[in-house]
Amino acid sequence: MFGERFRRLRKEKGEAQTAIAQVLGVTVTQISDMENGKTMTTLEKLTIICQHYHVSADYLLGLTDDPAPHGRKEP
């Protein structure tokens, strides 16, 4: 679930894998592996992803279908 949602968010924002790799300080291969479900990420990087895309960790992890961070409603 994480990989699918991560990829969808990146594509919706029109970002290349290289752009988010720079944000996270990882390689493009690591981004590809995360999107394809081969690896996960650290809690620190999960936090950065959530802040970058303005979504909750619960959404990225598949615990909810509501992408809005807890306590915040998107306009």
pLDDT, averaged across the chain:
90
Please report, to the nearest 10 degrees, the dihedral formed by the alpha carbons of residues 12, 16, 21, 22 taken in order.
-110
Distances (CA, A) of 66 to 13, 35, 46, 74: 18, 20, 17, 10
* Model confidence at 26: pLDDT above 80: yes
Residues 6+ apart with CB under 8 A from 15: none
User: What mean pLDDT is predicted for residues 5-31?
Assistant: 96
* Model confidence at 28: pLDDT above 50: yes
Distances (CA, A) of 42 to 24, 30, 47, 57: 10, 12, 9, 12
User: What mean pLDDT is predicted for residues 44-59?
Assistant: 94
* Model confidence at 27: pLDDT above 50: yes
